[in-house]
Structure 1
Amino acid sequence: MSNKKIIIAIDGFSSTGKSTIAKQLAKHLNYIYVDTGAMYRAVTLFAMKNNYINNQSFNQEKLISNLNSVQLNFKFNANLGFAEMFLNGENVEKEIRTIEVSKLVSKVSAISEVRKKLVSEQQEMGKEKGIVMDGRDIGTVVFPDAELKLFMTASADKRAKRRYKELIDRGDKVNYEEILHNVQERDHIDSTRTDSPLTKANDAVEFDNSDMGLEEQFERIIRLVNDHI
C-alpha cells in the first residue's frame, strides 16, 4: 500500500453507523478518527449543564457568549481502541450518548457560531491528512477537497432500531417510539437548517446500508479507499 495519506469524509443521517465504519477504517489504515458528532454533543451537554437549553427553552445568546469556555479534546483510550471526548478536562463520552443529549443536539448544531468554532477546530485537525472524520457537513464544508467522501443513509426505521438496541445494551431505559421520533426530528432539523444543512456532496459516494451487514459494508468501502490511495 502506498504511504500517501488522504482525508476520508463520512457524512450522513443520524444512526447510519458513520462512527462504526469510521473507526474500522481508521484502525485498518492507522489513521486518526474524529467523531465530529461527539463535539456537537459535548457543546450540547455544556449548554444543558449551564441551563442554557432544555426541552422547553433555549437561550442561544447565553450559549454563544460563553462558547470561549468550551474546551474540547479527544484523548485516545488504548483499551477501547478509539479516542474519547473530553469537555473542559472531563471525560464525557458516556454522558454525551444519552437520549437527552440526542434530543437537543440538532438545535445546538444549527447555531452558526457553534458551527464556526467547531469547523475551524476540525479543519485544524485535518491539516496533516491521514484522518477519517464523520459528521453532517464534512464533505461539503469542513473538507470540500477530501479525496474520498462517503454519504451514509438508511431507512429511519432501521436506524431507530439500531439506536434502540445500542441504548438498551448500554442499560439505558428507552422506548422505541421515542427513538424513532428523535431520528425523524433530527433528520428534519439537520436537513433544513440554514447553516450547512446535511446534503450529499456532488462527488460523494452514496451508501445505503439498510440491508447491509458490517462486514460487507467494510469490504466494499475499503475497496473504494484503496482505489483512492
Structure 2
Amino acid sequence: MARVAKHTFRSRIADSLRDAILGGDIEPGSQLVETALAEQFGVSRGPLREAIRQLIEEGILKTVPYTGTYVIDISVGDVDEIYSIRRNLETFAFEQVWDRRDAAFRGELQRRHDALTATIDAGDDKASILAELSFHGAVYEATGHSFLLHIWAGLRGRLQLYWAAHHRAHGLRGPRRDGHDAYLRLALGGDLEAMRREIDSHMRRGAEQTKAFLDGRERRPARRA
C-alpha cells in the first residue's frame, strides 16, 4: 500500500478537527488535550501538532502561553468587529475590481455560487461554510492585492466559527438557498453603488441574527458542576 504523504496526513487530521469544531462537537472555548485527540484519531502527536498549528494559522484555534490550546470563542463584540471590518474590506475589493470584471471573473463567481447552492441542497452545513468562504473570497483573489489577501486569510477562521454559530442558532443546515442571489446579481451587474448597499445589508443581517444568539448565550447562567 502506498504511503500517505505527510502533508496529506496532517490535512486529514486538520479537516477532522475543523469538522468537529464547526459542527459543535468541540465547543467554542474548549481546551484541546493532545493525548486524548491523538488516541481518538489513532495518530502520533507529531502530525496532530502539525494539524493544530494549521488551525491556529487559520484562526480557529489559539494558544495561551503556559496554559494550552483552545478553540476560539466568538463574542457579541467579535461579531461587531467582524462586520465592520469585513463590510469595508469587501466594498474595497469590489471597488478595486469593478472595471476589471471580465468573463473569467464572472464565470468563476457564478461557478462558486453554484457550488454553494449544491452544498445547501445537500444539507451539508460544514461544506456550505467552506463554499460560502470560497464564494466571498473570489473578489479578494481577483484584486491581486497581496495585503488585502493577507487580511482576508486572517479573517477566514473567525468567519467559519461565526457562520457555524449562526447556523446552530437557527437550526440551519447552511445559509438560505436564495441568500446570495441578490449579491451575485449585483456583483455581475453595472451599479457599483447598489453593490455597496448590498454588501452592507447582506452582512448586517447575518451579524444581527448571530449577535442575538450570542447575547442570549452569554446571558444564560453557567451550568453547575
TM-score (norm 1): 0.22
- More helix per residue: 2
TM-score when normalising by structure 2: 0.22
Larger-Rg structure? 2
Q: Which structure features the higher share of strand residues?
A: 1
